[in-house]
Amino acid sequence: MCRRIAAGNWKMNGVAADLGEVSAIADAAQDTTCEVVLCLPATLLPQAGARNLPKALKLGGQDCHVETNGAYTGDISAEMLAEVGAKYVIVGHSERRQFHGESDAQIAAKARAAWDAGLTAIICIGETEEQYRAGRTLEVLDRQIAGSLPQNATSENTVLAYEPIWAIGTGLTPSLAEVSAIHTHLRTRLPDETIAILYGGSVNAKNADKIMNLENVDGSLVGGASLTVAKFTPIIKALEATK
Ligand code: 13P
């Protein structure tokens, strides 16, 4: 049995004025037995922690460095995230791979750094539109899994998120049949088959129930629709309904 997780990725969005949404999402999280996670900008983590939110909401970071400390201007370590209350950290998001040139090997090292700090690593993989159109999706995902998922990953320390890059923030998604086939394939590639596999890319209140109902989809990683309680709650409820 896999963990069931509704995770929000706020990306570079959110200032103190938005903490009311975090509190409201924490309240909504109390109505589900699924794990609800918000990966906030690092600046908001201590402020969210200071609110004594309901424990049903878990907090996460969006990236971490491979080292615990050192001369790495602008970076943040997994230990630092854990200290301010994070339980999860996203590693290898396509926006990090694309805009920061992160390699599979670096992402695997980040996942191990996350584990060392006691965090669950949400490891992201996904193909570009060009690779999708060329029918290379599974080949690309296999390569990313082989390179960025450490062999000793377990369902306790790791969550896999499949996010087709062309579906992120576009309103486009693969067909249900495609998501189902891809997730079923991914399951066979995991070192521990009980690792939760999340789908991400334009998940919203309208499509969440159908996607969350697919076999081998254990939850979602949500960008834009996780920014407000009004948009995120239906996605949490869609996952809860599939139990
Ligand atoms: P959207 O839900 O905004 O498409 O973003 C998905 C994503 O990148 C989550 O990590």
Catalytic: which of 21, 35, 79, 93? 93
Query: Can you tell me which atom of ligand 1 is nearest the CA of 94?
Result: 8
pTM, 2 dp: 0.98
**pLDDT tier, 23 (very low <50, low <70, confident <90, very high otherwise):** very high
How many Å apart are CA 102 and CA 182, to the nearest integer?
Answer: 23
- Is 80 exceeded by the pLDDT of residue 213? yes
Q: What is the mean pLDDT of residues 79-94?
A: 98
Ligand 1 pocket residues where CB is under 6 Å = 9, 93, 163, 168-169, 200-203, 221-225
3-state secondary structure 104-155: HHHHHHHHHHHHHCCCEEEEEECCCHHHHHCCCHHHHHHHHHHHHCCCCCCC
**CB-based contacts of 17-25 (< 8 A; 24+ apart in sequence):** 18/44, 18/227, 19/44, 19/47, 19/48, 19/51, 21/227, 21/228, 21/229, 22/48, 22/51, 22/53, 22/57, 23/51, 23/53, 24/229, 25/57, 25/226, 25/229, 25/232, 25/233
Which residue's alpha carbon is at the smallest distance from atom 7 of ligand 1? 223
Per-residue model confidence as pLDDT tens digits over 98-116 = 999 999 999 999 999 999 9
Identify the domain containing residue 145 by its residue range.
5-240
Number of domains in the chain: 1
SS3 content of the chain, % helix, strand, coil (to 5): 40, 20, 40
- Give the domain CATH number at 61: 3.20.20.70
Work out the mean pLDDT of the chain and round it to a whole number.
97
